[in-house]
Amino acid sequence: MNEDLKKAVEILRNGGVILYPTDTIWGLGCDATNPEAVDRIFKIKKRADSKSMLSLVASDGMLQQFVSEVPDAAWQLIDAAVNPLTIIYDNPRGIASNLLAEDGSAGFRITSEAYSRGLCLRLRHPVVSTSANISGRPSPLCFEDIPQEIADAVDYVAEYGRNQTQTKPSNIIKVTDSNVISIIR
């Protein structure tokens, strides 16, 4: 896995897009601080750029680098989560502006999965994570489900995790700075 991560991170640092396993389903990813790379993912997915995408971080500390204030309710949800949990925050900072929703918010998930966590740690930035599908089509539950046109459009396809099957994407909850909680998915 070490060489695989090294190659993927080199691509990310150079503004590339990768196809990789996450703690949920296979995803398209790029450096979340690079607006041109983010734009490429929108084009690959044929997705309207008005729809936001989430980013993975490796730790609580990395989350705090990119979210101005993590509300107490968010920490409680993170601590209680049994399944992967994406939280949408009001005041992200330092990420590409085209990752922000219309209201200026952005979603982050702390990943504990080895490969995606390794990407975040080595890159030292959040990594975009969006399902490896054309917008509106089913999300891939395993590597074999990924459309060839997606695989052909990226700069690197991870070797790690190709034999894994996932059952569903993460739960998504929005937590405002005033601790108002909304369940999105």
Domain ranges in the chain are 2-183
Does an H or E element contain 102, and which? Answer: none
- Looking at the DSSP assignment, which residues form a beta bridge with residue 165? 142
Provide CB contacts within 8 A for 124, sequence distance 6+: none
Give which of 151, 161, 141, 164 is closest to 19, Cα–Cα. Answer: 151
Does an H or E element contain 128, and which? Answer: strand 127-131
Q: What is the pLDDT of residues 11-52, one digit of tens each?
A: 999 999 999 999 888 999 999 999 999 999 999 999 877 678
Altogether, the residues listed in the chain come to a count of 185
Name the residue with tokens 């200026």: 104
Q: Tell whether the model's pLDDT for residue 71 goes beyond 70.
A: yes
Q: What is the pLDDT of residues 115-161, one digit of tens each?
A: 999 999 999 999 999 999 998 898 888 899 999 999 999 999 999 98
Give which of 142, 174, 177, 92 is closest to 185, Cα–Cα. Answer: 174
Of the candidate CATH numbers 3.30.70.20, 3.30.200.20, 3.90.870.10, 1.50.40.10, the domain formed by 2-183 belongs to 3.90.870.10
String of b and e for 32-66 (b: at least 16 CB within 10 Å)? bbbbebbebbbebbebeeeebbbbbbbeeebbeeb
